Homo-oligomer: A and B are copies of this chain.
Amino acid sequence: MVDVSPPKWHLGHTTWFFENFILANADSSYQLFDKRFNYIFNSYYVSQGDRLSRGNRVSLNRPKLESILAYREHVDQAMEILLNQNNLSDELLNLFEIGLNHEQQHQELLVTDIKYIFSQNPLMPSFQDDEKVQPEPKTKEIEFLKIEEGVYQIGHDSEEFCFDNEKGRHKVYLHEFEFQNRLVNNQEFLEFINNKGYEKPELWLSEGWDWVQENRICAPEYWIKSGKQWQVFTVFGLRDLNLSDTLTRISFYEAKAFARWKGMRLLTEQEWEVACIKFGVNSELNHFQESNCFHLGAAKDNQLMGSNWEWTNSAYLPYPKYEQAAGALGEYNGKFMVNQMVLRGGSCATPKSHFRPSYRNFFHPQLRWQFTGIRLAKK
């Protein structure tokens, strides 16, 4: 799958970001570690020259891992020297902050990509021991939370770091809406499957139905039916499906069809942001940085952050007054604003420092190799 990159590549690419955008510009005496790396570790920055296409990253049997680790060491040392200097420009410090946030984004991708790569191996290997995981037998009762009609403000609203696509704080008019106090779980989605939800075209968007037919989709990613028992491929290998666990690895198409089957809908990203500001960042994170273990248990809180990315029914588009930067950093977010849907919240694999109400993630509607789930709202 073209969206997934080899782990080694993530290590090289995040390092290249610092070398290419900071060291190569800020320090005229800096020696590139290997000038050929610009070609292989540039992801999609057209302004930075020719680059290896995504689909060809698998060809990188060389450089070996040791060389890439040496590359990281080389760049880390140079960055350390640079950062110890006085009088660094705001622009450089800004780039440095973006570089750190960028690397954190790739930490999340690294986990989900390894998981995907392992899932494609017919031996389905595990990469984590599961002794720590205690399945939660119970989940929260569903309640509906409400937001009143009116004019609200959304968009980033502090001095702290954010990406350019969150900027341009602006007013929106929301009509009253209600939404569930937790995400959909495996039990609920299994009812959709048992009710033949994957076989009823009237529940699906037209392109969603085509996707189901062409790819013979009949369950979430990594679900496998073994006789009468549903199993799921996890970081611990193949395990029986735990019904009270939060549903994950869902495409936008599946989220839409499920909501229609339930007679409900997804939130827009504006609704979600207002809801998150009011009903708060949860305090019972069950995510990697807490538990050292990738596992979505049963809901204990509102799950607004730290469980799954939530598909919204908003297309990824610029905010009013959005300014796409000139040059390479203008390529970071702005050029992807078509044919993708916004996800909000953050998952168990997302770095904790990325959790904020205004954060906008985005993927194509058929993708489901990330931790992605469903929150229902009343029509």
Contact = CB atoms under 8 A, between A and B. Distances in A.
Interface string A64-102: 000000000000000000000000000000000000000
A122 B46 contact: no
A151 B175 contact: no
A117 interface: yes
A338 interface: yes
Interface string A218-235: 000000000000000000
Contacts of A151: 151, 173
Nearest to A271: B320
A151 to B, nearest CB: 6
Interface stretch (A18-26, A104-112, A129-137, A311-319): A311-319
Interface in A248-266: 252-253, 256, 260
Interface stretch (A140-148, A156-164, A204-212): A204-212
Interface in A358-373: 365
Given A318-B313, A338-B252, A365-B339, A123 B36 contact: yes
A196 interface: no
Contacts of A209: 46, 335
Contacts of A125: 61-62
The 5 closest A-B pairs by CB, nearest first: A315-B315, A46-B201, A173-B173, A206-B335, A59-B120
